[in-house]
Amino acid sequence: MVDLREIPALRAWRAAERAAGRRVAFVPTMGALHAGHLALVDLAARLAPTVLMSVFVNPLQFGPGEDFARYPRDLDRDRALAAGRGVAALFVPAVEAMYPPGAETRVVPGPMAERWEGAQRPGHFAGVLTVVAKLLNLVQPDLAVFGQKDIQQVCLVQRMVRDLDLPVEIHVGRTVRETNGLALSSRNAYLSSADRTAALSLSRALRAADLAWRGGEAEALRLHSLMMEQFHMSIGVTVDYIAIIDPDTLRPVERADGGTIVAVAARVGRTRLLDNHILGTEFC
Ligand code: PAF
């Protein structure tokens, strides 16, 4: 695996891949890799012969008081995992390379970013879209793979790619779960063992909605209350939102169809967790 730290090295590597006629698939990450990221690499490798991964903890997408400083970082471990999974090149830029002094331009998302995560984390999605746009411009991949777990991020990246005519295909990798249902996340590292038990209420709530919908219940209010019931039994969990929403607008729906997104965010101890399910897809 090639280690790329500097932007000129990345550009030279990319030019060589282009000259060799190889399609490049890109997996952007903030590191602290887990099996969910590696599944994105597997998907990328099925779609293109060369996979490039980036590891960059993007300061722009963390608000004041959020976990930027304590976000888990272990580059040696990430490097070993990426290389073991067949990643051809790992791009690990410094903050100063991505945001040199004087950098001030931002990608400002539309109203889709004001709901749900955007309402809880003002400025978060401008930070995400700015770094994703920069990474796409730097890497110039044929395709990029994002995880379904951050579903609003996926929808906003897809929207940005359409709105700004960015020449890249966006692919979405399914959420990977532990056998007990907990969605894999780098932030699971913050959970105590009691938190991990409490955190199961998120996937239980999604599963309850999925089962009810498959059983014929399409009323969003009813699905919402079935989901809330799962949290009444959990101690130490505070629900931030349950969203039953249209995938194109992220607005709440009254009746859920195939393709409707059911998303949940909750605080478990000091950790905010997200999970979601797209109705009509298999609950993994
Ligand atoms: O999903 C993530 O890990 C990040 O938001 C991303 C897409 C790498 C941008 O920093």
pLDDT tens track for 218-247: 999 999 999 999 999 888 999 999 999 999
pLDDT tens track for 155-178: 999 999 999 999 999 999 999 999
Task: Confirm whether 124 is a catalytic residue.
Answer: no
pLDDT over threshold 90, residue 110? yes
Question: Number of H helices and number of E strands within the chain?
Answer: 9, 9
Contacts of 31 (CB under 8 A, 6+ apart): 55, 56, 57, 72, 73, 74, 75, 78, 186
**Relative to the CA of 186, which ligand 1 atom is closest?**
3
Section 94-108 average pLDDT: 98
pLDDT at 234: 87
**DSSP bridge pairs for 265:** 241, 274
pLDDT over threshold 80, residue 4? yes
Q: What is the DSSP letter of 255?
A: B
Pocket of ligand 1 (CB under 6 A): 28-30, 58, 61, 128, 131-132, 150, 153
pLDDT at 86: 98
**Relative to the CA of 132, which ligand 1 atom is closest?**
9
- In this structure, the strands spanning 24-29 and 169-173 are unpaired
Both tokens of 186, joined, read 């780098």
Helix (H, G, I), strand (E, B) or coil at 267: strand
Section 273-282 average pLDDT: 98
Query: What DSSP element (H or E) covers 118?
Result: helix 117-120
Q: What mean pLDDT, rounded, does the chain reach?
A: 97
pLDDT over threshold 90, residue 48? yes
pLDDT at 22: 98
For ligand 1, atom 6, the nearest C-alpha belongs to 29
For ligand 1, atom 1, the nearest C-alpha belongs to 29
pLDDT over threshold 80, residue 284? no
Q: Return d(Cα 111, Cα 95) in angstroms, integer.
A: 28
Higher pLDDT, 103 or 234: 103
pLDDT at 144: 99
pLDDT tens track for 127-159: 999 999 999 999 999 999 999 999 999 999 999
